[in-house]
Each structure stands twice: as structure tokens, then as C-alpha cells.
């Protein structure tokens, strides 16, 4: 029996023994873990892109402008 056939047979036997609702819960939890692990990088990347927009640059210039320059 080839490795692929053996793997397919083992997978089929496993799936026959597993409760479908339990398997779905395990898969959902694994997806949640993956999303939580990726979230900090996604937030950092998104904030970096937002920080480079023209509006953000203009706001930064306004915020760092000296207060005595006559602008309101």
C-alpha cells in the first residue's frame, strides 16, 4: 500500500470515529488561534498604511506646528 493510500485510509477511519460536531469545534478553534496569532501583524501593517496617508501627514504637520505661528 502506498503512503498516500495508507494516509487516505487512516483519514477515512479517523473521520468515521470522530463526532462531526466535535471535529467542527476543533477546526473552528484552530482557525481562531490562527487569526489571533496573525492579528498583531495585521494591525501593525494597517496602522502603518493609515499613517502614510496624505490626511495623516497633514494632521501630523498641524499637530507639530508651533502654537505661536498665528494659525488657529
* DSSP string for residues in 10-25: HHHHHHHHS-HHHHHH
Q: Is residue 12 part of a domain?
A: no
Give the span between the Cα atoms of 48 and 63, in whole angstroms.
18
Domain that holds residue 44: 19-64
Cβ partners under 8 Å of residue 9, min gap 6: 1
Q: Report how many domains make up the chain.
A: 1
Report field, pTM of the whole predicted structure over 0.85: no
Q: What is the chain's length?
A: 72
Residue pLDDT, tens place only, 4-49 = 888 888 878 887 888 888 888 888 999 999 999 999 888 888 888 8
Amino acid at each position: 500500500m502506498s503512503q498516500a493510500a495508507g494516509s487516505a485510509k487512516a483519514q477515512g477511519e479517523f473521520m468515521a470515529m470522530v463526532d462531526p460536531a466535535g471535529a467542527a469545534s476543533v477546526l473552528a478553534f484552530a482557525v481562531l488561534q490562527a487569526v489571533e496569532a496573525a492579528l498583531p501583524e495585521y494591525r501593525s501593517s494597517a496602522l502603518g498604511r493609515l499613517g502614510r496617508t496624505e490626511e495623516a501627514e497633514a494632521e501630523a504637520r498641524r499637530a507639530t506646528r508651533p502654537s505661536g505661528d498665528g494659525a488657529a
